[in-house]
Structures are given as structure tokens and as C-alpha cells.
Amino acid sequence: MSEPDSVTAAAPVQSFWRRKVLGPVLAQLRQGITPEKIALTAALGAVIAVFPILGSTTVLCGLVAWGLRLNQPIIQLVNYLCYPLQFVLLLPFYRAGEWFGAPHVALSIPEMISRFQAGPMEFIAEFGLVALGGVAAWIAAAPLAITALYFGLRPTLRRLARRSRVVPL
């Protein structure tokens, strides 16, 4: 009896992956977008998705895609899929920002709430420096991450294009 349950449980995951991720990528390949351009779009989308300012990544991805003439749906899809990583990397970026001169502050939620209630402008000044330090750390790490993702994704996308027969050999 466990076999039908495992088959039905796996089917929605596979169909989600095919419908929401693989399908749009294949569609773009069939429309003539190169695997290299999709790899660049995905790499930039993933790195921008972890930008250490909450609520900014959708706009940043849109601006970068527009400025570099990259595919908006793919960059936003990657941004959406990588969104949980932003929360995972927020504290490490803020702590790494201390190397760039940001002050060390306690990042406990109750303490942050009480500091904000005590003085919103002082809170913004103090935590704004922490955020700027996190942005500096992100800027230092981003080129390496984009390069690694680009060169890591490119062969996979080339194989996908060949298997789908969308790229003439």
C-alpha cells in the first residue's frame, strides 16, 4: 500500500518542478534565448535574491534584467525560488559587514523591537549602518558567486538545450 502513496506524493512535486521551473526555461530556449543568457539570468537572480535588504530583491532583479536585457520571468522565478536563502544569509552578511566597519549590535528580535519603540530614528541610524555593512559584504561576495553559478549552470543548460533539440549542433 505504501507504493501508491509514494507515487501520488511524488507526482505533485515533479509536476510543480516541470510546470513552474523546467517548462519556462524550455520555452525560453525554444524561443531562441541561449543557454548562456539563461545561465547569466539565473546566476544574477540567485545572487540578487540574497541581497541583505528585505523587500528589495524583486525591484533589483527587475532593474538588472531590464538594464542587461535579460529575461524578466526567469530572473523573477529564480529570485522567488531563492527567497528562503535571503533569510538564511541575512545574519551572516550583517556579521560579515562588521569587517567593513559596521558596528556590532545584538540582533535579537525583542531587543530590536524595544529599541525601535524607544527611538525610531536612533534605531534606523544604528541598524542602517549594520545593513550597509551587510550590503558591503554582499558586494564583496557577489562577483564570485555569480561567476561560480554561471559556469556551473551553463553546461547543464547546454545539455538541456541539446536534449530538447532547441539548439542546432
**Cα gap 52→6, rounded to integer Å:** 38
- 59-81 tens-digit pLDDT: 999 999 999 999 999 999 999 99
Cβ(37)–Cβ(29) below 8 Å: no
Residue 168 lies in a domain: no
C-alpha distance from residue 32 to each of 28, 29, 71 (Å): 7, 5, 12
| Mean pLDDT to the nearest integer, 20-26 | 78
The pLDDT assigned to 147 comes to 98
Domain presence at residue 86 = yes
In-domain check, residue 123: yes
Q: How far apart are CA 109 and CA 126, in angstroms?
A: 15
Amino acid at 125: A
Q: What is the pLDDT of residues 24-58, one digit of tens each?
A: 788 887 888 889 999 999 999 999 999 999 899 99
75 falls within a domain: yes
Cβ atoms of 120 and 160 within 8 Å: the answer is no
What total number of domains does the chain contain? 1
In 3-state terms, what secondary structure has residue 169?
coil
Residue 102 is part of which domain span? 2-163
Mean pLDDT of 121-127: 84
Percent of the chain clearing pLDDT 70 (strictly above): 88
User: Which distant-in-sequence residues (6+ apart) come within 8 Å of 91 by Cβ?
Assistant: 107
Contact 40, 7 (CB under 8 A): no
- Residue 9's pLDDT band, with cuts at 50, 70 and 90, is low
Euclidean distance between CA atoms 128 and 102, whole angstroms: 9
Is residue 169 assigned to a domain?
A: no
140 or 165, which is more confident: 140
Give the integer Cα–Cα distance in Å for 134 and 112. Answer: 17
- The answer to whether residue 82 sits within a structural domain is yes
